[in-house]
């Protein structure tokens, strides 16, 4: 799959239009006679969920071709997985509607659909629980090798949060009070918690998949400039190992490009000097590049940035001076490619990423940190999607009790 081959951003307003049409159609049939029209309603729902999956996956492919470093990649991929699960439930309901038309009606459909999100969370716990365990193991090894810091336990915190949510839902759901009013209240609490975890875990799965796609992608070897992103230089071997891996990966890309096309490129090691750093990250990478035999005349340092966003912003200024029409790539650790690409596109820079290998014990915690960082962006858009998801689940609960 190629990236940056489309000029038009994919839209999914057709899903909203389709949803409105289906809701109206099902509501009309249910109002006329839900028992009589149970079969056509079930078929309509099956076709609707199947169509949504096709539209989401189509939008996902088009989004990768337009811009692989986008929140939309996460949304389309993460939530298409959930809709696949709902489609499976819907098909099972259709089978029941045809096999037992007299004993199966609209209330049973609503009752099953309102619990779909919770069942989905239980099903993907087969992935979530091992992932949480891997986060805990990697954190222990990371602390032993790199020392105890808050950022080195983020994976452990995320793992506890994920497993804790599953335990809460399981224990809370098992309690069934006799009082109908209390039962409705408990059902609403379950719905709100389920909606939050559903959104969170779909985002997490989508982010992991999007991150892997971004890290594994190999750009075309026609680049004029290659930005190498810095990493905080701390005492110990970890920081230098991460930087060395990034620079080595960048050098390997240049060598392949030279061998296959004969075209050379310019390196921009990017990273300023922090308060606890003996020299700037760009200078460390500059020294390592020259030690590896890279000529001085193809190295241009960017030594002012202190964040990934600034890496992209200040490197873009350097590129304007070198070649405003340059074809650009950036190199960073594999877990960091997707989020770095987000910042590049925010600076209107159509750069593609190259992922450098990371020690296995470092990757899970670093990925957790990247994911939590992603969640802090586009808050309004995320809030709208979360509220919409919650509203649908709450509406199903209200319908079930009505």
Q: pLDDT tens digit string along 296-353?
A: 999 999 999 999 999 999 999 999 999 999 999 999 999 999 999 999 999 999 999 9
Query: Is 51 within 8 Å of 38 (Cβ atoms)?
Result: no
Q: What pLDDT score does 7 carry?
A: 81
pLDDT of 121 over the 90 cut: yes
Whether the pLDDT of residue 146 is over 80: the answer is: no
pLDDT of res. 173 = 82
Residue 362 structure tokens: 């470092």
Closest by Cα among 176, 205, 204 to 190: 176
Rounded to the nearest 5 percent, the helix, strand and coil shares of the chain are 70, 5, 25
Q: Model-level pTM? A: 0.88
* pLDDT value at residue 104: 67
Assign 74 a pLDDT band (cuts: 50, 70, 90): very high
Count CA atoms within 13 Å of residue 338 on its CB side.
27
35, pLDDT greater than 90: no
Please report the pLDDT score of residue 238 as a whole number.
Answer: 67
Mean pLDDT of 369-376: 84
By CB atoms closer than 10 A (0-12, 13-18, 19+), residue 267 is buried
Name residue 266's beta-bridge partners: 225
Calculate mean pLDDT across residues 243-267.
96
Q: What is the DSSP track for 196-222?
A: HHHHHHHHHHHHHHHHHHHHH----S-
In the block, which residue shows the tokens 């060395």? 244
- Determine the average pLDDT of the residues in 150-169: 87
Q: pLDDT at position 1, please?
A: 62
Res 34 pLDDT > 80: no
Average pLDDT, the chain: 89
pLDDT at 158 exceeding the cut of 70 = yes
Tell me the domains of the chain and their CATH numbers.
1-114 (no CATH), 117-216+360-402 (no CATH), 225-359 (3.40.50.620)
Place of tokens 């915690």: 365
What pLDDT score was predicted for residue 138? 84
- In this prediction, residue 136 carries a pLDDT of 86
CB within 8 Å of 167: residues ≥ 6 apart: none
Percent of the chain with pLDDT over 70: 96
Give SS3 for 228.
strand
Q: Which two tokens stand for residue 331?
A: 């190199």
Q: Around 58, how many Cα atoms within 13 Å sit in the side-chain half-sphere?
A: 11
Tokens 């075309």 map to which residue?
A: 220
Query: What is the CA 264 to chain-centroid distance, rounded?
Result: 34
């Amino acid at each position: 799959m190629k990236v940056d081959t489309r000029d038009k951003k994919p839209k999914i307003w057709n899903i909203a239009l389709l949803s409105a049409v289906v809701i109206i159609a099902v509501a009309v049939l249910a109002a006329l006679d839900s028992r009589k029209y149970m079969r056509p309603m079930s078929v309509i729902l099956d076709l609707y969920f199947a169509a949504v999956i096709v539209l989401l996956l189509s939008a996902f492919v088009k989004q990768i071709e337009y811009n692989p470093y986008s929140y939309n990649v996460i949304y389309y991929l993460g939530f298409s997985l959930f809709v696949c699960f709902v489609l499976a439930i819907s098909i099972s309901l259709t089978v029941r509607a045809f096999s037992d038309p007299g004993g199966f009606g609209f209330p049973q459909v609503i009752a099953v659909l309102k619990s779909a999100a919770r069942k989905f969370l239980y099903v993907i716990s087969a992935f979530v629980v091992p992932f949480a365990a891997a986060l805990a193991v990697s954190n222990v090894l990371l602390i032993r090798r790199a020392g105890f810091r808050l950022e080195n336990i983020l994976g452990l915190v995320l793992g506890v949060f994920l497993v804790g949510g599953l335990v809460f839902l399981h224990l809370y759901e098992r309690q069934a009070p006799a009082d109908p009013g209390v039962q409705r209240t408990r059902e609403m609490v379950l719905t709100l918690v389920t909606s939050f975890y559903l959104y969170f875990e779909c985002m997490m799965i989508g982010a992991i998949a999007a991150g892997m796609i971004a890290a594994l992608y190999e750009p075309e070897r026609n680049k004029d400039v290659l930005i190498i992103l810095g990493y905080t230089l701390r005492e110990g071997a970890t920081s230098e190992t991460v930087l060395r891996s990034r620079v080595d990966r960048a050098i390997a890309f240049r060598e392949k490009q030279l061998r296959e096309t004969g075209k050379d490129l310019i390196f921009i090691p990017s990273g300023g000097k922090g308060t606890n750093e003996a020299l700037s990250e760009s200078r460390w990478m500059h020294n390592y590049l020259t030690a590896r035999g890279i000529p001085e005349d193809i190295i241009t340092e960017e030594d002012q940035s202190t964040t990934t966003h600034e890496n992209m912003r200040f490197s873009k200024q350097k590129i304007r001076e070198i070649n405003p029409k340059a074809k650009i790539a950036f190199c960073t650790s594999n877990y960091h490619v997707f989020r770095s690409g987000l910042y590049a596109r925010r600076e209107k820079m159509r750069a593609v990423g190259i992922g450098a290998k990371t020690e296995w014990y470092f990757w899970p915690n670093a990925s957790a940190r990247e994911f939590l960082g992603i969640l802090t962006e586009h808050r309004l858009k995320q809030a709208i999607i979360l509220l919409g998801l919650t509203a649908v689940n709450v509406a199903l609960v209200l319908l079930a009790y009505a």
